Amino acid sequence: MDHFLYRDGALYAEDVPVAEIAARVGTPFYCYSTATLTRHFRLFDEALEGTDHLVCYAMKAASNQAILKTLAGLGAGMDVVSGGEYARARAAGVPGEKIVFSGVGKTRQEMRLALEGGIRQFNVESEPEMRALSEVAMSLGTRAPITIRVNPDVDAKTHAKIATGKSENKFGIPIARAREVYAEAAALPGLEVIGIDVHIGSQLTELEPFRLAYLKVAELTETLRADGHDIRRLDLGGGLGIPYARSNEAPPLPTDYGALIKETVGHLGCEIEIEPGRLVAGNAGILVSRVIYVKEGEGRNFLILDGAMNDLIRPAMYDAHHDIVPVLEPTPGAEQTPYDIVGPVCESGDTFARGRMMPPLAEGDLVAFRGAGAYGAVMASEYNTRPLVPEVLVHEHQFAVIRARPTFDEMINRDTIPEWL
């Protein structure tokens, strides 16, 4: 469910007409709904009610500080994967003790930044990282709290580029080697081992892969405790998917996911962390674009938009589907025509959809890409010297620009000309 609905023949974001935002801000732009962000976060939080838990929003999905501040105000922790994300979380007012640092390539500089600023835990992904973190912590006269990410060799049944829990993926240590790696971690003077981390992928549409992974984590917890480790926290990752095409069967609900967690690891008495990102932010955002031209081609017609692959790269990178709807509601029974929906970037890959059935559209009409709140604005670029698009946050009848569109001068003036030129 989201809060982007037709009302009186026009698409609204909560209580604000999308066309009104377009008139004020220009296109293309991202628009987020506070009500949807709030609802989706609370679904996860309520799903774990009765357990000691923390829902850590995976910032990589959408990291604008206004979004972070909205979620932090609801009690969210943050899952970060870079020093920049850590700095963003802190700037949004998130305390260090509610920030989890994940990622396979943490640098010593990033480790120092988090240790000095405060951190809930590092999710360590390899033995070299573990040793480096111990050295950094010792140089600061402290100990770093860690979980170790184990790779359970479970097929998440998702896109190959966002699967992370198979043995051939770069993430974590093989679960078969966990005992020896935990033994080494316990012997390193700069580390405090507190738990286990697992994350098997993104955009999962069924619960069985989670079940298989979490049962392995439960077994490992008991084994490590028998070895003398104080395993008191389980970071179970995120990955629950969203329905990008409204005609598709909906993925499992957070309530079902929460019940699975309680069933598989609830008996262990551990604090539970989860790291949802896509399901919190995905349907909370749309990308609004304008039709520049309607072009008749050889055997096909094109809708050429002012939005492009640099604004929303998911279709080009993942062959991802986004429902694309007119901002003015089509009349019931309006005739549908197949269009290739494309942007102005000089690459054939700048294609959002092929043969997509759409109602009649003309130059100047507005369209909205649904489900664009996650991995949209955060993955945008200035390719072709196209400005990063604005981000807008709606709250009931109000809206605010939370990231402005840069001018060409602002973009160009970031370059520096050497003296010899």
Rounded CA gap, 45 and 61, in Å?
Answer: 18
Q: What's the CA gap between 77 and 28, in Å, rounded?
A: 31
pLDDT at residue number 167 = 47
How far is residue 334's CA from residue 332's CA, in Å, rounded to a whole number? 6
346 is catalytic: yes
Write out pLDDT tens, residues 140-171: 999 999 999 999 877 655 444 444 444 455 56
Dihedral class, residue 58 (left if φ above 0, else alpha if ψ from -120 to 50, else beta): beta
What is the rounded average pLDDT of the residues 397-415?
A: 98
Asked, as a colleague might, if the bond just before 189 is cis with ω within 30 of 0, I would say no
Name the pTM for this structure: 0.93
| pLDDT (tens digit per residue) in 5-41 | 999 999 999 999 999 999 999 999 999 999 999 999 9
pLDDT in tens, 71-87: 999 999 999 999 999 99
pLDDT of residue 172: 83
Give the rounded percent of residues in the chain with a pLDDT score beyond 70: 95
pLDDT at residue 297, as a whole number: 80
Q: Where in the chain is the domain with CATH 2.40.37.10?
A: 4-31+282-412
- Residue 69: exposed, middle, or buried by beta-carbon count in 10 A (0-12, 13-18, 19+)? middle
> pLDDT tens, 380-392?
999 999 999 999 9
Whether the per-residue pLDDT at 300 is higher than 50: the answer is yes
Give me the catalytic one of 31, 56, 270, 346: 346
Helix (H, G, I), strand (E, B) or coil at 19: helix
Closest by alpha carbon to 102, among 70, 146, 67? Answer: 146
The reported pLDDT for the residue numbered 155 is 62
Confidence band of 247 (pLDDT split at 50, 70, 90): low
- The string of pLDDT tens digits covering residues 176-234 is 999 999 999 999 999 999 999 999 887 888 899 899 999 999 999 999 999 999 999 99
- Compute the CA torsion angle 65, 69, 70, 73 (nearest 10 deg): 170
Specify the higher pLDDT residue, 342 or 167.
342
The model's pLDDT over 233-243, given as tens digits with 9 standing for 90+, comes to 999 998 888 87
Domain(s) of CATH 3.20.20.10: residues in the chain: 103-274
Residue 184, pLDDT score? 97
Mean of per-residue pLDDT scores for the chain: 93
In this prediction, residues 276-293 reach a mean pLDDT of 97
Segment 325-340 shows an average pLDDT of 93
Model confidence over 118-141: pLDDT tens digits? 999 999 999 999 999 999 999 999
Instruction: State which fold the 4-31+282-412 domain adopts.
Output: Lyase, Ornithine Decarboxylase; Chain A, domain 1 (2.40.37)
Report the CATH fold assignment for 103-274. Answer: TIM Barrel (3.20.20)
Q: Which amino acid is at 227?
A: D
